[in-house]
Structure 1
C-alpha cells in the first residue's frame, strides 16, 4: 500500500513536470513568435522607408506593407497597438537589409532608430555646391541650408566671416542622420573643423606664419592650380616663397574667381586688370577668403610644402596638367612664352 502511494506520487510528479515543460515550451514559442520570429520581406531583401513629420500612420502602414509581409501578422499588429506606434513613430530614414522581428520593427520606428547617411564631399567650388549636395541627401531642402550659409549672424557665431566661412568645411566622409537640421549639420562641421585642426597642425601653420584659415585660403589656390597631386607641395612652396619675399602671388585661379569666368581656358589681360581684393595680381598677400573648399590633400600640401627656391611656374606645353618651375623671372618668361605660343597655335584665346 505504502509503495503504491509512492509510485503514484512519482507518476504525479512526472506528469506535472512534463506538463510544466510543455507549458514553458508553449510560452516560449508564443514569446518567440511574438517578439523574435523574423518578419519576411515582400519582394526585395532590402527596403528603405522615409518618414517625414507630415507622414500619417496610414502612409507609414502602407509603406511597411509594401516592404514586409504583414497581412494577418498578429504579432506585429498586437505589438504596434500595445506600444501605441500609430501615435509615437518618429521621422527618419530607415533602411532594412536583413530580417527583423516584429518587436524590433516596431521599436525601430517608435524610438527613431535611423540608418545613418554617408555624406561625402571632396573639393567643392563653393558653399552653394555643398548646399545642393546636402539638399539631395537630407530631409531639408537646399534652400534651407543656403539660408543658414549666408546668414551673417550664423557665420559669426562660428568664428568666421562671409569670406572665410568656406574654410570651416573640411572635406571628408561624415555619417549624419536624414532628419538633421541645417544648424545641426553646421555645428557638426565646426566640431570636425576643431578636431581636424589639432595642436600639431596649428603649430605647423605657425611655423609657416599662417593661421589655419590662411592655410585653407592658400590651399584653395593650390587646389585650383593643379589636379596633379605630386605637384601640389611644389606649388605650395612657390606661393610660400613669394609671401616671404612680399611678392604678389599672381595666381590665375584668384583672377578667375574674381571675374566669375570659371569656364575660361586662358586668363586675358583684361581679366588681370579687374579690381577685386581676390585679384592677386593687383594685391599683395592672400585674398580675403578661400576661392573654393580645398581638399585635405591641398591643405596638407601647404602644411608640408616642398622646400626649394622657385618663385615662378606656368603650365607645361605638354598640356597634361603639369607645370614647369623657375627660380628667375627670365626663366619664367621663357617658359611662359612657349606656352602662349602653343595656345595661339591651338587658337585658344580665352
Structure 2
C-alpha cells in the first residue's frame, strides 16, 4: 500500500471518527429540549400506564423537542421505552437528551407547588384540589364524603374541610389520595400547637369551632388589622347567647356569592347556616380561612362591642357599637350609602 493511500485512509477514518464523535456529542450532550431563548421549564406529566409513544406525543404537542430523531435514538439505546415511569418531571430549558432520559428513566420526579385559598364550598375544594393530582376529583370526593375517613381525622363529612389549611405545599403529582389526606393531617397537627389549642380552650372553642368562626371573620373583613376586633364581637355574642346575625352565613346558605345587599326576606331562609335564625355557630366553615385569620380569632380583642356594620365611607373597615341604638344609627347610614350608589341587591 502506497504512502499516499495510507494517508488517504487515515484522513478518511479521522474524518469519520470526528463526524461520529460530533454526532454522538450532539445526541448525548447538546441541548435538544426547550432550546428557544424564551422557553420556560415544562412540567411533563406521565400518567400510570403511559407508553413511550404517548410521552413523545406530549413532548411534540408542546414543542419541547428540537430534534426528535436523536432523542428517539438515545431513548432506544437506553431502553427507555421499556422503563416508562409515571410522574411529573420538570424539563429545564437547554436540556440535553441524556440528562432528560436519565431523569425520566429513573423515575426521579419533581414535587409540585400546590396552593389553595379562596375556597367556599366543599365541592369546589374537591374539584380544585382533585384536578391538581393524578388521582382526580372523584377519588378525593369519595374519601371526603366517607364518614369513616373523616372520623379518622376527627371530623365529620361537613367539617372535614377544616383539615385543609390554605398555604403552598410541595407534593408529588402521583401521590395517592389517602396519602394526600395524611399529609394535610400532618400540616393540620403542625399548625395546632399546644399554645394555639390552649388559646382556643380559653375562649370556650374547639379547634373546629375556631376555624368556623375564622371563616365568618374572613368573610366579614379582609383587613387583617380589623379581624381581631370583629372576632371579639362574635365571641361576645356567643358568650351572651345572642345570635351572631352574620350576613356571610346567609349568603352561604343562599349559595349566591354575588349578593352585595341582603334583603329582609333573604334573612328568613331556613338553613343551619343562617345565623339570623339559629343561635351559635353554623355546622361548618363557610370558607377556608387563612392560618393568619385563625390566629386573629385566637388573639381576638377583648372589648364590649356587640355590633358592627360596614363603614358608610366604604374604606374597607367597619363601624363598631356597644348598643343596638348606636348600631341601628350606623346601619341606617350604611343603607343610605348603598341606596345612593344604587346597590339594591
CA contact (8 A) 2:197 2:207 kept: yes
Of residues 97-106 and 186-195 in structure 1, the stretch that sits farther from structure 2 once superposed is 97-106
Superposition pairs for residues 1-350 of structure 1, below 5 Å? 37=29, 40-41=32-33, 43-44=35-36, 46-61=41-56, 66-67=64-65, 69=67, 71-72=69-70, 76-77=74-75, 80-81=78-79, 85-97=80-92, 104-350=99-345
Superposed CA offset, 1:287-335 (max 9, x none): 1111111112211110111222111101111123321000111111111
Looking at structure 2, the residues matched to 181 and 170 of structure 1 have their Cα atoms a distance apart, in angstroms, of 19
> 2-side partners of 1:250 and 1:72: how far apart?
68
CA distance in 2, matches of 1:154, 1:348: 44
In structure 2, the CA distance between the partners of 1:125 and 1:41, relative to structure 1 (3 Å rule), is same
CA contact (8 A) 1:228 1:322 kept: yes
User: What secondary structure does 1:155 align onto?
Assistant: helix
* Residue aligned with 1:67, SS: coil
**Alpha-carbon distance in structure 2 between the residues aligned to 1:229 and 1:62:** 48
Alpha-carbon distance between aligned partners in 2 of 1:295 and 1:149, rounded to the nearest angstrom: 20
Q: How many residues align?
A: 318
- SS of the aligned residue for 1:320 comes to coil
Query: Helix, strand or coil: the match of 1:71?
Result: helix
How much does 1:249 deviate?
Answer: 1.2
Instruction: Give the Å deviation of 1:58.
Output: 2.4
> Is this contact kept in 1: 2:33–2:96, CA < 8 A?
no
SS at match of 2:279: coil
* Secondary structure of 2:222 counterpart: coil
Take 2:159 and 2:192, find their aligned partners in 1: how far apart are those partners?
15
Give the Å deviation of 1:233.
1.0
Is residue 256–residue 262 contact of structure 1 (8 Å, CA) maintained in 2?
A: yes
Larger mean Cα displacement after TM superposition, 130-139 or 223-232: 130-139
CA drift of 1:282 comes to: 2.1
1:33–1:75: 8 Å Cα contact kept in structure 2?
no
User: 5+ unaligned residues in a row in structure 1: which ranges?
Assistant: 1-28
Q: Could you tell me how far apart the structure 1 residues matched to 2:283 and 2:71 are?
A: 63
TM superposition shift of 1:152: 2.7
On the 8 A contact 1:34/1:75 being kept in 2, the answer is: no
Aligned partner of residue 78 in structure 2, secondary structure: helix
Rounded to whole Å, the distance in 1 between the matches of 2:31 and 2:325 is 76
Report SS of the residue matched to 1:195. helix
Deviations 1:109-128 (A, max 9, x none): 23321121111122311222
* 1:175 match: secondary structure: strand
Partner of 1:49, secondary structure, is strand
Query: Aligned equivalents of 1:142 and 1:71: distance in 2?
Result: 38
| 1:38-63 superposed Cα distances (whole Å, 9 cap, x missing partner) | 65436335443221123212233555
Q: TM-score, normalised by structure 1?
A: 0.81
For residue 221 of structure 1, report the CA deviation from its aligned partner: 0.4
Q: Helix, strand or coil: the match of 1:120?
A: strand
CA contact 1:278–1:287 (8 Å) conserved in 2: yes
